[in-house]
Amino acid sequence: MYIRSLELRDFRSWPELKVELEPGITIFIGRNGFGKTNIVEAIGYLAHLSSHRVSADAPLVRANATDSRISAVAVNQGRELAAHLLIKPHAANQGQINRTRVKSPRELLGVIKTVLFAPEDLALVRGEPAERRRYLDDIIATRRPRMAGVKADYDKVLKQRNALLKTATIPLRRGYGTDEGAAALATLDTWDGQLARLGSEVMAARFALVQELSSQVHDAYQTIAPESRPAAVNYKTTIDQGLSQFPGFDAGIIEATLLTELAAKRQREIERGMSLVGPHRDDLELHLGGQPAKGFASHGETWSFALSMRIAEFNLLRSDGTDPILILDDVFSELDAGRREKLVVIARDAEQVIITAAVSDDLPANLADAITARHTVTVRDTDDGRISLLDEQPETQP
């Protein structure tokens, strides 16, 4: 698929951006801090309903503005869909598809599919498990939008269950001996049931995804870093480790295992005042040779691993039938010659690629001849603060 037109209003440093895009390679060039990443962040937000840089919406809205708009027309095998999102930092966001308001912005998931590779991806390897869970859940949501709703429901249940464990510590400790304790435990039972039901769906989807991804990551890494040791990924759960040994495991088995584990850990959960069982405690383990990548991988290996995970994601989405839009945010300057070449091969073959770079020199020579469109990002200082501009000469400063 490709994006035919992109419009932003009051998104980050952009009061207004209107740009027509084409299939092939489009590049946005501009100095650091001028607003290039803001553009691809907006596209990524439309695709995933979250930013790769911040977890809250407020920083996305331009300073002094009340809300942000992101609109894009996507062309998928000849069929056009217009996606439109209104981001309100202090209220629910609103989505539209082809000018019709949708019940939840989540209905936009899957309309635009992107794979974004950015410097922040080093955190996939070095960062906390939450980064890697997000990687998995984003891919799942793009391929199976319904699962985003399941995950959101899970997060809500988890939040309420944690609140109960925190606020009802005393009655929960007293147990069934008191009316208050019995009531709190009954509420906890209800949350347990919901956590297990929703959590098992989340986990089953992740298990299945990791099974598909593992050979893709292994092969991508081998291609990028043939001199390095083999890369492997596997899903690590806090519940019965044996579970991961069953390929084709179903949500029912996982749900039962979660319930057993919740019962076994109940006392500890009450003592600690938090939920210790469920997909929010899981991780995607990354290995190089026999060692965990985190803490052992060199800087170059870390880049290769992160890139392999993005290439695997790209190939997986492509195998579903349509090319996702490949976005490369300021990454060429970070990669050595060998890795650049590998990335160029993929970029030249993808339906649409959007690249940002500070200077043209950062781009590999064999990419230059494949570029279909080139835009410059500049800034202007106004009474309303510094704003980003596309394809305009900056005003000469007095």
Ligand X SMILES: Nc1ncnc2c1ncn2[C@@H]1O[C@H](COP(=O)(O)OP(=O)(O)O)[C@@H](O)[C@H]1O
Q: Toward Mg ion, which CB reaches closer, 261 or 330? A: 330
Contact 85, 69 (CB under 8 A): yes
Residues 82-111 contacting ligand X, CB under 6 A: none
| 101: three-class secondary structure by DSSP | strand
> Which of ligand X, Mg ion, none does residue 38 bind to, with CB < 5 to 8 Å depending on kind?
ligand X
Contact 247, 195 (CB under 8 A): no
Residue 151 counted as an annotated binding residue: no
Q: Is 13 in the site for ligand X (CB under 6 A)?
A: yes
Stretch near Mg ion under the rule CB under 5 A, chosen from 10-18, 36-44, 76-84, 139-147 = 36-44
Q: Is 71 in the site for Mg ion (CB under 5 A)?
A: no
Residues 63-82 contacting ligand X, CB under 6 A: 63
The structure tokens listed for 115 are 């794979």
Q: Is 52 in the site for ligand X (CB under 6 A)?
A: no
Stretch near ligand X under the rule CB under 6 A, chosen from 27-35, 138-146, 157-165, 294-302 = 27-35
- Member of 6, 12, 216, 326 binding ligand X (CB under 6 A): 12
Q: Is 37 in the site for Mg ion (CB under 5 A)?
A: yes
Stretch near Mg ion under the rule CB under 5 A, chosen from 61-69, 153-161, 313-321, 328-336 = 328-336
Q: Toward ligand X, which CB reaches closer, 240 or 334? A: 334
Contact 275, 269 (CB under 8 A): yes
The structure tokens listed for 62 are 């331009």
Stretch near ligand X under the rule CB under 6 A, chosen from 36-44, 276-284, 366-374, 390-398 = 36-44
Q: Beta strand 291-292 with 283-288: parallel, antiparallel or unpaired?
A: antiparallel
- Member of 2, 6, 34, 213 binding ligand X (CB under 6 A): 34
- H or E segment at 136? helix 129-143
Residue 134 counted as an annotated binding residue: no
Contact 203, 282 (CB under 8 A): yes
DSSP labels, 7-50: EEEEETTEEEEEEE--SEEEEEE--TTSSHHHHHHHHHHHHHSS
CA pair distance 392, 127, nearest whole angstrom: 38
CA pair distance 136, 157, nearest whole angstrom: 20
Q: Report CA-CA distances (Å) from 285 to 163, 203, 210, 282.
A: 29, 15, 10, 9
- Member of 3, 6, 21, 35 binding ligand X (CB under 6 A): 35
Q: Which of 55, 82, 52, 72 is CA-nearest to residue 8?
A: 72
Q: Is 37 in the site for ligand X (CB under 6 A)?
A: yes
Q: Is 51 in the site for Mg ion (CB under 5 A)?
A: no
> Which of ligand X, Mg ion, none does residue 138 bind to, with CB < 5 to 8 Å depending on kind?
none
Residues 354-373, one symbol each (x = binds ligand X by CB under 6 A, - = not), give: --------------------
Stretch near ligand X under the rule CB under 6 A, chosen from 56-64, 90-98, 198-206, 267-275 = 56-64
Q: Is 62 in the site for ligand X (CB under 6 A)?
A: yes
- Member of 59, 175, 252, 292 binding ligand X (CB under 6 A): 59
**Distance in Å, CB of 143 to ligand X, minimum:** 28
Contact 82, 98 (CB under 8 A): yes
| 314: three-class secondary structure by DSSP | helix
Q: Report CA-CA distances (Å) from 358 to 28, 62, 354.
A: 8, 22, 14
Q: Toward ligand X, which CB reaches closer, 65 or 82? A: 65
Contact 191, 160 (CB under 8 A): yes
**Residue ranges in contact with Mg ion by CB under 5 A:** 37, 330
Binding residues: 30-37
Which residues make up the interface to ligand X (CB under 6 A)? 12-13, 30, 32-38, 59, 61-63
* Residues making up the binding site for ATP: 30-37
